[in-house]
Amino acid sequence: MSAIVTCPNCGKKNRVPAAASGYPRCGVCKSAVPWIVDAGDADFAEVVEKAPQVVLVDLWATWCGPCRMVSPALEKVATERAGKLKLVKVDVDAAPETARKFSVQAVPTLLILNQGNVLSRQSGAAPPGVLLRWADEALQKKADSAGAARRDMSTRTSRSSARSVPGHPGHVRTAWRPARPGCTCGCAAPAGRSGAATPPRCGTPARMRSRRGTPSCGRWSWGRTGAGATWTKRTYE
């Protein structure tokens, strides 16, 4: 199914699909247009749960007076947050399975979902300003969650990169022991399989990099000496 919406920027009417991978833009001015569609039991998963955007679900009924009152306010929220928020209207009488799934006991019931997960929920009508702040809080919650996920992934990637060179201080399997007298960093490692010593702790595992195929970090480099391949401290320090 599709719906006809008006571009708030140029007034052009646009047909928007019920489900898509991106978000709709005006065919004339290319601005983001409000995404307002209907859904039922048959297509709820495709239209709502698989949507890449945050979805505001309006669970309403045709006989409900407050539902008709809050509908313009929700459309205003969808217009104000075009490109970030999708508004999906679900008639609970025509979609009883969806109503049971979310334990709807009163209408209107408003849900904000992100890939099927409920970010926020409220029942009853509210003015546009209140609904807009409520939607912004849910959008911020999603942004904070996405930011935390990216930071966690970045940390894991950095640790994985540092641990990819056996014997580097970032390697989790390194067994450290007290250093010989005079060690500047206070620790050293047992001999490796080739007899070469693994590096002391330098405190910079996240800066691991490779130059000409040689593993190195900010303070230590892997090279060959008279005693064989070892970790040596950089001379410019």
Sorted by where each starts, the structural domains of the chain and their CATH numbers stand as 2-150 (3.40.30.10), 169-237 (no CATH)
Regarding predicted confidence, which is higher, 150 or 131? 131
pLDDT for 70: 96
Residue 198: HSE in the Cβ half-sphere, 13 Å Cα cutoff: 22
Residue 31: HSE in the Cβ half-sphere, 13 Å Cα cutoff: 16
**Pairing relationship of beta strands 2-6 and 109-114 according to DSSP bridges:** unpaired
- Please check the confidence at residue 122 and state whether its pLDDT lies above 70: yes
Residue 1 has which token pair? Answer: 């199914």
Backbone angles phi, psi at 177, to 5 degrees: -140, 165
| Distance separating alpha carbons of residues 123 and 154, to the nearest angstrom | 39
| Distance separating alpha carbons of residues 216 and 231, to the nearest angstrom | 9
With a threshold of 0.75, does the pTM exceed it? no
| Distance separating alpha carbons of residues 168 and 159, to the nearest angstrom | 11
Q: pLDDT over 90 for what percent of the chain?
A: 55
State yes or no: is 64 an active-site residue. Answer: yes
Q: Is 207 exposed, middle or buried (0-12, 13-18, 19+ CB in 10 A)?
A: middle
pLDDT for 67: 95
Give the pLDDT band of residue 103 (cuts 50, 70, 90). Answer: very high
| Distance separating alpha carbons of residues 180 and 170, to the nearest angstrom | 21
Q: Which of 7, 26, 29, 67 is catalytic?
A: 67
**Pairing relationship of beta strands 109-114 and 209-211 according to DSSP bridges:** unpaired
- Please check the confidence at residue 185 and state whether its pLDDT lies above 50: no
Q: Which of 7, 26, 64, 217 is catalytic?
A: 64
Regarding predicted confidence, which is higher, 77 or 205? 77
Give the pLDDT band of residue 219 (cuts 50, 70, 90). Answer: low
- Please check the confidence at residue 220 and state whether its pLDDT lies above 80: no
State yes or no: is 67 an active-site residue. Answer: yes
> Helices 65-80 and 128-163 meet at what angle, rounded to 10?
50
Q: With contact defined as beta carbons under 8 Å apart, do 150 and 165 qualify?
A: no
pLDDT for 192: 38
- Please check the confidence at residue 125 and state whether its pLDDT lies above 70: yes
